[in-house]
A and B are shown apart, each in its own frame.
Chain A
Amino acid sequence: MSDFKERIIVNRGLAQMLKGGVIMDVTTADQARIAEDSGAVAVMALERVPADIRSQGGVARMSDPAVIRAIQEAVTIPVMAKVRIGHLVEAQVLQALKIDYIDESEVLTPADESNHIDKHAFEVPFVCGCRDLGEAARRIGEGASMIRTKGEAGTGNVVEAVRHMRTLMGQIRMLLSMREDEVPSFAKDIAAPFEVLADIRKSGALPVVNFAAGGVATPADAALMMQLGADGVFVGSGIFKSGDPARRAKAIVEAVAHCDDPAWIARVSEGLGEAMSGLDVRTMPEGERLAVRGW
């Protein structure tokens, strides 16, 4: 087996170990420790959570390496961090910091409006966002070892996460049921690399783990995404922008593990305090939508 193929197994493998888990956005070492104690399977190290990026505006970039290092030192679970779409040097910097996973993320301001990073060129694995199967397949073709549906980050509103997950899973079901001679035309329609689609048909599933992201605020939101087909959940602003972060974090972890058990979800949802307030995505101007960044 070549080194390249072995790297793919190991990098997709780390995401496989995170399945059934919750990855939490944190901005300080203290928050990272709360996340780990609450049962997060990984943390996303950030300077600002998406809700603050949204309200403060300006260009959002990779975090200060000092913030990332402090969080790496605080926990033993994997630490992820975000780079701007197409910003290959930010990704090189994160690799030099020995980050566990790089998120090439639409939550930051894109550095390149045409090209995503060539992720095959890195040893560190990447997770990328998608809204449908075409976008997922393009990122996998570029070397992403994990996918997440984008949702609409920093809104506390799960509607876009649901839309993207339903679209992605629906298109996979369609791909798996079509005739062989219909695949090339479908690949063209959704602008997906044919090889990735062929791979999915052969194995019956995406070749990488797929988490839900962007708008999950409650245990029920998290369980909803799991029932719709997510392998796990990213929670960004939803935890540390809520009234009682540690309790809410634990409750969301439990709801993901027991996503098919409504009585369990009811019990962990009791008296959680205030969820983040949330934004109506329908009234949001197109320019403020993060999910449309990247292609």
Chain B
Amino acid sequence: MVIGILALQGNVREHLANLNRHDVQGLPVRLPGDLAGIEGLILPGGESTAMRNLVSSSGLEEPVGDLIRQGLPVWGTCAGVVLLARGGIWSSVDITVVRNAYGSQVFSRLVHEKSTLSETPTPMVFIRSPRITSAGREVEIIAEVEGDVVAVRQGSILLTTFHPELVDHSPFTACFIDMVRARSARPDETPAPGHCPKEAGRTV
């Protein structure tokens, strides 16, 4: 199984190492040709403006959009959430976000919180993270911290506003690898790809 990692800017190396810890091969994606054969795609943390410019100049906007519509499992972390939310490059998940909504680096932090994936609290590293401000009916909420939604799933897309790749064994990494495995095993039963209806979702 090979999972691609958008490698134009950001936390690519840590995502590669994180996949290796789970015995999964990661492949850096910089150009459309790198997308051939990948079974999942990770959009890493980084600066979303820089990434958006580079995605567009590298010709990745359309081919990645096509793969998302075909149901390729995609995991966006931090800046990756911004790219997949309403108004982002791919606008594939029915959520709205505010970039860097918690303020400067002194407000970045590590918290331990439960989720629908784990009864025991797991570490979540937030670094100048975006804030999810609304979510549509089809969006499944996986984790909340102090009333803010921080992890969601819609169809074949997983979003975390924090960084599971910076933690040794995060249930969120395992969840995404399971999504990729499930689709590779039974491509016909792929969950519907994420998409945004016309009306914005409920405020969360």
Contact = CB atoms under 8 A, between A and B. Distances in A.
Interface of A: 1, 6, 9-11, 13-14, 16-21, 36-42, 72, 76-79, 95, 98-101, 123-125, 250, 253-254, 257-258, 261
B45 to A, nearest CB: 5
Given A17-B45, A77-B49, A124 B106 contact: yes
B9 A258 contact: no
Contact of A21 (B14, B46, B126): B46
Given A40-B50, A77-B49, A258-B30, A17 B11 contact: yes
A254 B53 CA distance: 9
A14 B54 contact: no
A250 B166 CA distance: 29
Given A11-B105, A21-B50, 13 more contacts: A1-B123, A11-B108, A13-B108, A39-B47, A40-B47, A42-B47, A76-B99, A76-B100, A78-B104, A98-B103, A98-B105, A123-B106, A257-B58
Contacts of B125: 9-10, 13
B110 interface: yes
Given A14-B128, A39-B50, A20 B103 contact: no
Given A10-B109, A10-B127, A16-B14, A99 B78 contact: no
B77 to A, nearest CB: 10
Nearest to B51: A39
Interface string B71-106: 000000011000000000000000000011001111
Interface in B19-33: 30
A118 to B, nearest CB: 18
> In this complex, which of B7, B54, B123 has the most chain A Cβ atoms within 10 angstroms of its Cβ?
B54
Contacts of B193: none
Contacts of B58: 257-258
A99 B105 CA distance: 7
> In this complex, which of A14, A17, A21 has the most chain B Cβ atoms within 10 angstroms of its Cβ?
A17
Contacts of A125: 105
Nearest to B103: A98
> In this complex, which of B12, B45, B50 has the most chain A Cβ atoms within 10 angstroms of its Cβ?
B50
A254 B57 contact: yes
B50 A124 contact: no
Contact of B47 (A77, A95, A98, A124): A77
> In this complex, which of A18, A101, A250, A257 has the most chain B Cβ atoms within 10 angstroms of its Cβ?
A257
Interface in B47-73: 47, 49-50, 53-54, 57-58
B128 A20 contact: no
B105 A1 contact: no
A13 to B, nearest CB: 5
B104 A98 contact: yes
A39 B7 CA distance: 15
B10 to A, nearest CB: 6
Interface of B: 7-14, 30, 45-47, 49-50, 53-54, 57-58, 78-79, 99-100, 103-106, 108-110, 123, 125-128, 163, 166
Nearest to B105: A100
A95 B11 CA distance: 25
A19 B166 CA distance: 14
Contacts of A10: 105, 108-110, 125-127
A13 B124 CA distance: 12
Contacts of B45: 16-17
Given A13-B125, A76-B99, A41 B9 contact: yes
A39 B128 contact: no
B110 A1 contact: yes
B13 A19 contact: yes
Given A19-B10, A257-B30, A41 B50 contact: yes
Contact of B163 (A6, A11, A13, A19): A13
Nearest to B47: A41
The 9 closest A-B CB pairs, nearest first, are A100-B105, A39-B50, A6-B110, A20-B9, A41-B47, A39-B53, A98-B104, A10-B108, A257-B8
Contacts of B78: 17
Nearest to B14: A16
B184 to A, nearest CB: 29
22 contacts: A1-B110, A1-B123, A6-B109, A11-B108, A13-B108, A14-B105, A14-B128, A16-B166, A17-B11, A17-B46, A18-B46, A19-B9, A20-B10, A21-B10, A21-B50, A37-B49, A39-B49, A41-B47, A72-B104, A77-B49, A99-B105, A257-B9
